[in-house]
Chains A and B, each alone.
Chain A
């Protein structure tokens, strides 16, 4: 009974705290009034949007998720450098762009979304489309000589970690 009532009030406790945190960041000052307002938002928004959250993403290993974010931040810096070098020093005729397909082992929609986003942000690759059965990603490579190596790197560097986090 108590559980049910709690469930009604906090349909999504993590989202409540997340919204409170974002709200405090937005107003940039921590006062009692702002915390209360943030809590009101944090309670109202999950309750209203509950129908849109049929199954919650479960993050099994928060520490690994944090490590993943750091890895991606580092790779974004490397990506900038790689792409800048291609823009500056390679002629268009010398840039070998091509499509590759990446077969997916992850199945949860959240993991696939994050993987697609990561691929776009990291060196020389850009996610363009998902296959209709959600088993493959279509990736565009800016400059690549060995498409298999790129595919293997995506799978071993990012997908393996995402599988550990989500599945």
Chain B
């Protein structure tokens, strides 16, 4: 039983380490900012996720102490990763991407970061 648990936990750790490494390697390998963003947002989630599952299993099986902190970390990570990526992408676009390099949306309004609309055209009701 213990042997099986050890094997499963080590497997998870190795998978996590591999994906974590690949995510970081992608940062170096790709050659423009938008592509670079793909590597850490994805590869790292599984990397960190694997370590967290391994940690939960280890504490549950060997120390008989159920810890749910890992679930919280996973949830927070999955919520924050896309938002961070979105902000990095926006900052990059403001600095280095011209509006004409992007495909234009249909309709009168352009992309939010480049276009200005009056209050009367604000589509999302925040009142």
Contact = CB atoms under 8 A, between A and B. Distances in A.
Interface of A: 22, 25-26, 28, 54-55, 76-77, 79-80, 83-84, 87-88, 92, 95, 97, 99-101, 103, 107, 109, 116-121, 123-124, 126-136, 138, 140, 142
Interface in B90-126: 90, 93, 102-113, 115-117, 121, 123-126
Interface in B60-79: 67-69, 71-72, 78-79
Interface in B29-73: 29-32, 34-35, 37-39, 41-43, 45-46, 49, 67-69, 71-72
B19 A133 contact: no
Contact of B124 (A124, A129, A134): A134
B17 to A, nearest CB: 13
A22 B79 CA distance: 14
Nearest 9 pairs of A and B residues by beta carbon: A136-B105, A120-B82, A132-B109, A117-B82, A133-B109, A80-B46, A132-B115, A87-B26, A131-B105
B39 A87 contact: yes
Contacts of B123: 107, 133-135
Contacts of A142: 35, 38
Nearest to B117: A132
Contacts, number: 146
A135 B126 contact: no
B106 to A, nearest CB: 7
Nearest to B18: A84
Main secondary structure of the interface of A (DSSP, over half): mixed
A155 B118 CA distance: 29
Contacts of B32: 97
A85 to B, nearest CB: 9
Given A92-B30, A126-B85, A133-B123, A76 B46 contact: yes
A25 to B, nearest CB: 5
B11 interface: no
B81 interface: yes
